[in-house]
Amino acid sequence: MPKKLRIAIDISSAARPDRSGVGIYTVKLVEALAQQLGSSAHITAHYYNFLGQQSIAQLPRSPNIEYKVSRLIPEKLINLVRRVGLNIPFEILTKTRADIHLFSSYLVHPSLFKTPTLCVIHDLAYIDLPDTVSPKNRQDLISFVPWSIKYSKSIITISEFTKNRLVEHYNVKPEIVSIVFPGIDHGHFYPRPNAEIEAIRKQFKLPTDYILFTGNLEPRKNILGMLEAYEQLDASLRDKYALVLAGSRGWLDQTIQNEIKRQQEAGVRIVQLGYVDSAQLPALYSGATLFVFPSLYEGFGIPLLEAMACGTPAIAGNNSSQLEVVGDAAMLVNSESSQDIAKKIGQVLADKALSKSMATKGLDQAKKFNWQISAMRLSKIFSKTSL
């Protein structure tokens, strides 16, 4: 009988009520991996919940997944002791000995038993766009990512762009870097019927026609550029199409909030929804006339996939990994030019044939990505790593 593969995974980024892209990537990949490996593997997934005070988002449930929760150790304390030179072995946290350790978000723990370690590095924004990352987080990444790279037997990135930047900046050997793209759950993200769209409109009190953005409200997402572009649109377009922002407040967002308030007070129709649960997103995407995501920098850009899978034409930034995500299915913009963003928004809204063509291409492009393919790639990396 073949030996059961024992995998220990840091799932902390997914065990939060308002998951970001890293958390979504982690939870969906673990879920697909558990389904694919079945009884041939046992997964121990670790996260923090100090004194049970944190509301934990739904995590994958499977007979081959066991959760270990650190309830007496705050995650902040782990980060603090790491900064003073102490890094707790992962076995102490998971209370188990595994064949492979997987860390889904940049930083790794050492192993008491020299267990082969894999680390996921999502992007190098802290190097390439340092002003868009909080100083404390940026300093942690600058200090500890080199150690993560040195300690890991294999590095995983989520795009060709990030792999190239990793090889270039850290002089990493390309052969130890593998790409595991994010996927899309096509059983969840698909064009929803009018009844669902109408229900989500009523729930959020949305107008019939709207332009949508989803994601954390933070500088890297270029919310200010999008707000400037929206204000530059012809008044007739602004009257017809509201701008809807769905996402949690992010780091350094006060300037963004001030600009939203200024425009709202001037009569500009901007609707801010805050964090929207994944169950509500497909209908929200499906009801949008256009999805606008002019980010300055992305390790991947999952919201673009979600929007396209729901049949919504998308506008993306002409930079970083966004080109890999959208292919030729989206309208590309110069993210640093609000004039170009406004011009392209106006172009798509005014041309129904173009909008329909983009929606059709987007559906086809989104089909190229699914979590089962991602899990298959990861399991092959496990096989090579455990040799």
51-87: b (≥16 Cβ within 10 Å) or e: eeebeebebbeeebbebebbeeebeeebeeebeeeeb
| Residue 131 amino acid letter | D
| CA 156 to chain CA centroid, nearest Å | 15
- What percent of the chain has a predicted confidence (pLDDT) above 90? 92
Strands ordered across the beta sheet of 117-121: 65-70, 41-48, 5-10, 100-103, 117-121, 154-157, 177-179
pLDDT > 70? residue 121: yes
Which pair of tokens denotes residue 342?
Answer: 């406004």
pLDDT > 90? residue 311: yes
- Please calculate the CA angle 142-379-305 and round it to the nearest 5 degrees: 70
Which pair of tokens denotes residue 109?
Answer: 């723990």
pLDDT > 70? residue 88: yes
Contact 261, 229 (CB under 8 A): no
Distance CA 229, CA 243 (A): 11
Of 350, 345, 351, 342, nearest to 331 by C-alpha is 345
Q: So what's the pLDDT on residue 2?
A: 67
Provide CB contacts within 8 A for 208, sequence distance 6+. Answer: 201
Distance CA 102, CA 100 (A): 7
Region 194-366: CATH code: 3.40.50.2000
Query: Within the chain, how many helices (H) and strands (E) appear?
Result: 16, 13
Q: So what's the pLDDT on residue 64?
A: 97
pLDDT > 60? residue 387: no
Give pLDDT tens digits for 212-271.
999 999 999 999 999 999 999 999 999 999 999 999 988 889 999 999 999 999 999 999
Distance CA 118, CA 153 (A): 6
Distance CA 97, CA 93 (A): 11
Give pLDDT tens digits for 52-80.
888 888 899 999 999 999 999 999 999 99
Give 317's pLDDT tier (boundaries 50, 70, 90): very high
Which pair of tokens denotes residue 270?
Answer: 């901007």
Domain boundaries defined on the chain: 5-183+370-385, 194-366
pLDDT > 70? residue 386: no
Pick the CATH number of 5-183+370-385 from 3.90.550.10, 3.30.750.200, 3.40.50.2000, 3.20.20.370: 3.40.50.2000
Query: Using only C-alpha atoms, what is the Rg of the chain?
Result: 21
pLDDT > 90? residue 150: yes
**pTM (2 decimals)?**
0.93
41 bridge partner residues:
5
159-173: b (≥16 Cβ within 10 Å) or e: bebbbebbbeebebe
Long-range contacts of 265-269 (CB under 8 A, 24+ apart): 268/230, 268/231, 268/238, 268/243, 269/207, 269/238, 269/239, 269/242, 269/243
Of 239, 374, 223, 214, nearest to 310 by C-alpha is 214
pLDDT > 70? residue 87: yes
292 bridge partner residues:
315
Q: What is the average pLDDT value for the chain, to the nearest integer?
A: 95
Q: So what's the pLDDT on residue 231?
A: 96
Domains 5-183+370-385 and 194-366 share a fold: yes
